[in-house]
Structure 1
Amino acid sequence: MAHTRIAPRAARNEGQWAFGDRELLNANEELKAADDGLNVRARIETVYSRDGFASIPGEDLRCRMRWWGLYTQRRPGIDGGRTATLEPHELDDEYFMLRVRCDGGRLTLRQLRVIGEISTELARGTADITDRQNIQLHWVRIEDVPEIWRRLEAVGLTTQEACGDVPRVILGSPVAGVAADEIIDGTPAIDAIHRRYIGDPAFSNLPRKFKTAISGSPHHDVVHEINDVSFVGVVHPELGPGFDLWVGGALAANPMLAVRLGAWVPLEAVPEVWEGVIGIFRDYGYRRLRNRARLKFLVADWGAEVFRDVLEQEYLGRRLDDGPEPPAPPLGRRDHVGVHPQRDGRFYVGAAPTVGRVSGPMLTSLVDLAERAGSDRVRLTVEQKVVVLDVAADRVDELVAGLEQLGLEVTGASTFRRGTMACTGLEFCKLAIVETKARGAALVDELERRLPTFEHPLTINLNGCPNSCARIQVADIGLKGVLAGGDEGFQVHLGGALGIDGRLGRTVRGLRITAEELPDYVERVATRFAAQREDDEAFAQWALRADEAELA
C-alpha cells in the first residue's frame, strides 16, 4: 500500500525502535534487554522459592518479577514522609503482593473459591478487588508462589503479565452477554486477545504498561477514556453493531483523556486492530524517560489523524471504516450495584465491598451463597464491586440477604459505600504517602452516620500518591495523598468526569486538608451540592460552575 503519511520522528532520541533507536537509555530498558521478564518464572520455581527471599537479585526482585504479577510490599512501620527518602531495598518487605488477572472481570465460582482458599491459607486472608477487575493478595511468601500458581492454573487463572511493561488485564463489561440493553458482547474479542497475545515475547517488552478496555455496554462501564486502547460499543448506521476505537488515555502525574480515531471496528477485527495499536506502541513508543513512556505522549505528539494513518498503512494494510461517535451514556450510576434483570429472565446482583476490600473467608462465603442461588459465575467491576450473574427470581431475596450479612451491600448500599474507591495505600504500597483503605472505610462509615438521607450519585476516590491508581482526576471528589504540615493529608480534585463530556477535575487553589479533616470537608461540600444543584445536575457540573469559596 502506498504511504500518504510518514510517522513523525521525535525531535530528540526517544529510543523509538521503528527508527532504529536501540540505544538503552535507562536502567529499566537495560534490564529488559538483558532478559525477558517472562523468563523469570523458571528462576522463581527452581531457585528463589527453594533458597528464599535473600537469593533474589535486585534486577529480578524489582523489575522482572512484575511480569508474573509480583511486587514486593512495603515494610511495616515506614511512614509516608520517608517514602521518597529511602532506597528501594530499604522499603522492601520480604513479602509480596500477588495480582491475579481476571480478564473481563470474569470468574467462575470454582475459580473464586480457589482464590479465597489461597488467600486464607497463604496470604493471611487478604484480598482486594482492584479498579481494573483484578484481585490482589498480600503477605505472599516467595516459597509459596509455585504452589499458588499451580492452584490458579488448575482452574484456568494466571498472574502472567498482571504487572510490568506488558499488555495488562483486559477490562470488559461486568454484564457482557447478559445485559438487556447491551449493544454488542465483546467477550469473544477479549478471549481472542488473551489467547493470541498474552505471554507472547513479541509484546513482552513495551516502553511501559499497556491497558485495554472492551465493552459493548451503552453505559460506558469500563472507563474507556483512560485506557491506552479502548473499543466502545456503537451501532454503525450501515454496518450494524461494532466498536468505536479510542487511544491514548492514561492518568498519573500527566493525565490525558483518550481520543477517538473515528474508526468503526467489527467484533471479529478487534484482535487484529488491538495488535496494530500495541505494535505502534512497541515500535514508536518513547523509551528514553519512564515518565514519558506511555502511549498517551505519542498520541499527543502525533494527533489522531496521524496515528490512524500509521495504524492503517503500516500495521493493518487497509483502511478502517469511518464510524459514528457513541451516544452519551444514560444518566445514573454505572457501578452495577443492586438487582437488575438479564435478557434471559434471570437477574444479576451487584454488591459493594467497602473500598474494594474483601478477604479469603468472605470470598469463599460469597461462593457458597452464589451456589445456593443457582449461579456459577461472578464478575468484578472497575468500581471495585462484585456482581453475581444468572440468579433466578425466586432466589434473589435470599442471595441479597446473605450478601448483606457478609458486609457486601446490595439494596442497602449508600451513595458513599457505592461511590468510594481507594488504592492500596501506605499499608502495602512502596510509593504511597498516606493510608487509603482504612481511611476510606472510616470515611464511608462516618458519612453514612452524618448524611443518612444523601442519595445523589457521588464518587470519592482516595489515592496514596500522585500516580492515580484510584483515578482521582476523574472522580467527583478526588483525593491525592500529600503531607499537610507534616501530617497525612490530601490535595483535592473536584468535578472530574467520564463519558462524552469527560473532563479532569479542578484543584482548589491552596486547598489541602489533613486526614482528620476529611469527613468534615466531604460533608460540607456534599451538603452544599445537595442544596444548590439544579434539576438533575450532577456533582461534576455543579463543581464546574461553583465559586471556589463553595468548594473549600
Structure 2
Amino acid sequence: MESKLSNKISTEAKEDIRELVEKIGRFHNGEIDEDKFKAYRLTRGVYGQRQVGVQMFRTKIPYGRLTSDQLIRIADVSEKYTNGNLHTTTRQNIQLHYVKLDDSPAIWTELEEVGVTAREACGNTVRNVTGSALAGIDPDEPFDITAYAEATFRYFLRNPICQDMGRKIKIAFSSSSKDSAFAYFHDFGFIPVVKTENGKEVRGFKTLIGGGLGAQSIVAKTAFEFLPEDQIIPFTEAAIRVFDRYGEREKRFKARMKFLIDEKRGLGFEKFMELVEKERKSIPHQSYPIDRTLVPELVLPPKQDYPEVAIADEEKYQDWLTSNVFEQKQKGFHGVQIKLSNGNIDAERARKLSAIIKKYAGDDLRITVNQGFLLKYVETKALPVVFNELNALGLAEYGFGTIADITACPGTDTCNLGVSNSTGVAEVLEGIIKEEYKDLIFDADIQIKISGCMNSCGQHMAANIGFHGSSIKNGKLVVPALVVLLGGGVDPEGQGSVGDKVAKLPSKKAPEALRIILDDYKENALPGEYFNSYYRRYGKIYFFDLLKHLIDPNQFIQSDYIDWGATDNFVPAIGVGECAGVSYDVIGTIIDDASEKLSIAKKELTRNEFARVIYNAYNTLVIGAKGLLLSEDVSCNTHIGILRDFDKHFVSTNKFPLEGNFETLVLQINENEPGSDFAIAYLEQAEQFLQDVKAYRARQVAEDTSQKGKLVVDNFYKA
C-alpha cells in the first residue's frame, strides 16, 4: 500500500501512519501499556468510544474547509470502515464512529490522499484551528482570516512545543467583531482589525487569551487590542511555551490555560504576559509574515443557464431563503447554509451534496460551528434549483442558525463522558419550536445548545438557553436530568458571556421548561429585546421560580426515570474521558521517552530545524529528570517544578553528577536565540545528561531490585 500511495501522501504523514501501525502491533503484543498507548493514539485522532471494542476516529479540518472531493473521500471511508455516518462537530471537524482500531491506519491513509489529516485531532495538543465559516464572503469582515487560520494550523502541526502538554490548546479566528467563531471562549482568540498608519491600512488582530467552556467557563481576557498580523504566530508560540512549562498537569480539571492566567489559581495575567515576553528571545521567528496565498484559489461553478424549476412548497422555499441564505460581500453571489440534524449526514447524501457543490457552488465547503454546512458562491439565479436538489436530499430544512437549529453533542450515544441523552431531546425541542414557536425562528436571536455532560462539547455555556446532562438521585432510583442555563453566548455587539445555571430538572421535563421560558419571553420581553437582556432584567431567581415546580421529586412520574431514546429505567454509566495524560507507567519507560525525544532532536538537526532541535532537547532534559524524581516518589505536576525539585533532591544533595544548577542548565532555552551553535551545544548537554540519568538509574536498580519494575501511580506522573 505504501509504495502505491507514496506520491499522494506527504513524507511526514507517511511516517505518522507507519508509526501508528507499529504502535498498534506493539500494543496488541503487550509491549505497550494500555494507558501509554491511549496517550499516543489520541494525538492520532483515535478516541475510545462508549461502546467496547470500537473507536471514534476524528479528522482535523482547519476552519472547517473541505473541497467536494475531500467530502466524497470521507463519505467513502465512512461507508467502507464505519457505520456510514459523518458527524460534524462544533470544532468544525468530522468524526467517524464505530471504527476498529486496526482499521485506523487505513482510514488515515485514504484520507491523507486527499489532504485530510488526523494528526493532533485529539489529546493534549493544539487542537483544530477553528474559524468563522463566513470568512472570505462575510459582508462585515475587515479582511479574510482564512490564510491566517491556515498558517497557524500548519505552524503548530507536529511542532515539538505542543506534543507533550498537560492539556489541550484551542484557537479560533472570527471573521469580524460579531465573533461568530466564539473567540472569547478559546485559549487563543483572534478578531481581525484594520487601522491606518501613515496613510496606509495595516492588518492586525484583537487578541484574546485564556477563555474556555466546560465545568468552569471563563470569558477570555484581551491581551492586545491590536496585534500586528506578523506577530500572531510568534506571540502564540511564546505563550504556548509558557503554558507548557508552568501549566498544571497533576490536576486535570485545573490544567487549562484559563487557570494558569487566573490571579488566584495560577500565575495571574500580568505575570503570564511577562513570561511570554521573556520567552520571545528563544522562538525561531520574531516576525512571521502570513502568506495570503496559502489557501488554494477558489474554483467557481461553471457558467451556465440555470433551468426553470417549479417550487413544490413555496412557503418552505421562502422560509429557507429568509433563514438559510444570505448575500455575500461579492455581489450576485449567495451563501447557502445547510442545517444538519444533530450534525449527522449519511455517506450517500454527502456524495450527492458534493455533486451539487461541483455544479452550483464554489468548491469551498465550510463546516460551521453549529454543526452545519455552508455553500459559497451560489448565484442568485441558481437558488431555486439548488433548493430543489437540497430538498430532495432532506437538506433544505429552514431555520439554520436560529432557535430551531439546536446544537447537540453525541452525548450518551457514543461518548464515554455522556451522563444523559442530548440528541433525542434536541430533536424533540426542535419539533416543539417549529410547531409552536415558528415566529421566534425569524424574529428572535436565540440559540439553544445541549451537551451530554458539563464539559460543553455542545457549547451549552455559550447559549442563550443551554442544557447539560446530569442526574438526580431520588430514593433508590436515579432520574436522567438536564441542567438549565440561561444568558450565555455572544451578543449582537460581539461580547461573550457565560450562561448561569438556573435549575436541574428531569430530562423528560425539558420540553415543558422550554415552553415556560419561551412563553414568558414572548409575554414579558420588550419589543425587539435581546433574550439575554430580558434574562438579566428579570434575574436568575425569577427563572428559578418559574421552573421550580418541575424540580419537585414528589411530582416525578414513571416516564421521568427513562431517558430519551431508552425503554428501561435510567442507570448512570459514565466512563473516563480520554483527553487526560497517562495514569501510570514504569520508570524505565519514562526514561525511554526521554531517549525518543533525543532521537527526534538529532533527526531535526540533520534538517537544520534548530528551534525544533532545541525544544526536543529541552524535553529530553525535563523527562529524564522526571524519571529520577518519580523513582523517589517526588510529585511532578509542572515542568518548572521538575527543574527546581531536581536541584533540591539530586543536585544540591550531590546525588547526581551535575556541574552548576539544573534549572539554569535547562532554562538556557530562554537566554539564547535558536541558532545552530546553541542548538548543537544544548543537544550535547541533553545527551550527556540523559547518559548520566541512565547510569544513575542502573545503579539505583542494582542497589534496590524492587525499583526495577516500579510503577508511578496516578498524580505523580502527569508532568
Task: Encode CA deviations 1:440-482: one digit per residue, 9 max, x unaligned.
Answer: 1222123322323333122111111111111222211111111
Tell me by how many angstroms 1:98 deviates. Answer: 0.7
Which residue matches 1:535? 527
Counterpart amino acid of residue 485 in structure 2: H
Q: 1:412 to 1:472 in 2, by over 3 A?
A: closer
Once residues 506 and 30 of structure 2 are traced to their aligned partners in structure 1, the CA distance between those partners, rounded to angstroms, is 39
User: What does 1:30-179 correspond to in 2, within 5 Å?
Assistant: 42=18, 44-46=20-22, 48=24, 57-75=33-51, 93-179=52-138
Does residue 271 in structure 1 map to residue 233 in structure 2?
A: yes
Greater Cα radius of gyration, structure 1 or 2: 2
* Counterpart among 327, 338, 341 of residue 328 in structure 2: 341
Tell me by how many angstroms 1:412 deviates. Answer: 5.4
Counterpart amino acid of residue 408 in structure 2: A
Which residue matches 1:246? 208
Tell me by how many angstroms 1:372 deviates. Answer: 2.0
Normalising by structure 1, report the TM-score.
Answer: 0.81
Does residue 443 in structure 1 map to residue 408 in structure 2?
A: no
Tell me by how many angstroms 1:222 deviates. Answer: 0.7
Q: What secondary structure, in the 3-state scheme, does the structure 1 residue paired with 2:485 have? A: strand
Aligned 8 A contact 1:350 1:410 in 2: no
Does residue 462 in structure 1 map to residue 450 in structure 2?
A: yes
Q: 1:41 to 1:291 in 2, by over 3 A?
A: farther
Once residues 333 and 30 of structure 2 are traced to their aligned partners in structure 1, the CA distance between those partners, rounded to angstroms, is 53
Counterpart amino acid of residue 344 in structure 2: R
User: What does 1:245-324 correspond to in 2, within 5 Å?
Assistant: 245-301=207-263, 302-315=267-280
Q: Which moved more, 1:378-387 or 1:511-520?
A: 511-520
Counterpart amino acid of residue 315 in structure 1: R
Once residues 195 and 364 of structure 1 are traced to their aligned partners in structure 2, the CA distance between those partners, rounded to angstroms, is 28
Q: 1:128 to 1:49 in 2, by over 3 A?
A: farther
Q: 1:273 to 1:259 in 2, by over 3 A?
A: same
Does residue 372 in structure 1 map to residue 359 in structure 2?
A: yes
Once residues 47 and 236 of structure 1 are traced to their aligned partners in structure 2, the CA distance between those partners, rounded to angstroms, is 51
Does residue 492 in structure 1 map to residue 484 in structure 2?
A: yes
* Counterpart among 394, 398, 404 of residue 385 in structure 2: 398
* Counterpart among 492, 497, 503 of residue 497 in structure 2: 503
Aligned-pair identity in percent equals 27
Normalising by structure 2, report the TM-score.
Answer: 0.63
RMSD of Structure 2 on Structure 1 (CA): 2.7
Q: What secondary structure, in the 3-state scheme, does the structure 1 residue paired with 2:345 have? A: strand
Counterpart amino acid of residue 473 in structure 1: M
Aligned 8 A contact 1:338 1:351 in 2: no
Q: 1:56 to 1:404 in 2, by over 3 A?
A: farther
Q: Which moved more, 1:447-456 or 1:64-73?
A: 447-456
Which residue matches 1:326? none
Aligned 8 A contact 1:279 1:315 in 2: no
Tell me by how many angstroms 1:430 deviates. Answer: 0.6
Aligned 8 A contact 2:134 2:175 in 1: no
Task: Encode CA deviations 1:50-74: one digit per residue, 9 max, x unaligned.
Answer: 9979997412453221101111111
Tell me by how many angstroms 1:303 deviates. Answer: 3.8
Task: Note the residue ranges of structure 2 that are not aligned, 5 or more in a row.
Answer: 1-13, 288-321, 549-719
Q: What secondary structure, in the 3-state scheme, does the structure 1 residue paired with 2:497 have? A: coil
Once residues 243 and 339 of structure 1 are traced to their aligned partners in structure 2, the CA distance between those partners, rounded to angstroms, is 26
Q: 1:290 to 1:51 in 2, by over 3 A?
A: closer
Q: What secondary structure, in the 3-state scheme, does the structure 2 residue paired with 1:315 have? A: helix
Once residues 368 and 54 of structure 1 are traced to their aligned partners in structure 2, the CA distance between those partners, rounded to angstroms, is 46
Tell me by how many angstroms 1:151 deviates. Answer: 1.2
Higher strand fraction (1 or 2): 1
Aligned 8 A contact 1:337 1:387 in 2: no
Tell me by how many angstroms 1:43 deviates. Answer: 5.0
Aligned 8 A contact 2:324 2:399 in 1: no
Tell me by how many angstroms 1:195 deviates. Answer: 2.3
Which residue matches 2:621? none
Tell me by how many angstroms 1:143 deviates. Answer: 2.4
Task: Note the residue ranges of structure 1 that are not aligned, 5 or more in a row.
Answer: 1-37, 76-92, 321-334
Task: Encode CA deviations 1:8-51: one digit per residue, 9 max, x unaligned.
Answer: xxxxxxxxxxxxxxxxxxxxxxxxxxxxxx99854531363799
Task: Encode CA deviations 1:375-396: one digit per residue, 9 max, x unaligned.
Answer: 3120011111210112222222
Higher helix fraction (1 or 2): 2
Aligned 8 A contact 1:338 1:411 in 2: no
Tell me by how many angstroms 1:165 deviates. Answer: 0.6
Aligned 8 A contact 1:414 1:448 in 2: no
Once residues 265 and 483 of structure 1 are traced to their aligned partners in structure 2, the CA distance between those partners, rounded to angstroms, is 45
Once residues 214 and 361 of structure 2 are traced to their aligned partners in structure 1, the CA distance between those partners, rounded to angstroms, is 41
Does residue 357 in structure 1 map to residue 357 in structure 2?
A: no
Q: What secondary structure, in the 3-state scheme, does the structure 2 residue paired with 1:169 have? A: coil
Aligned 8 A contact 1:404 1:410 in 2: yes
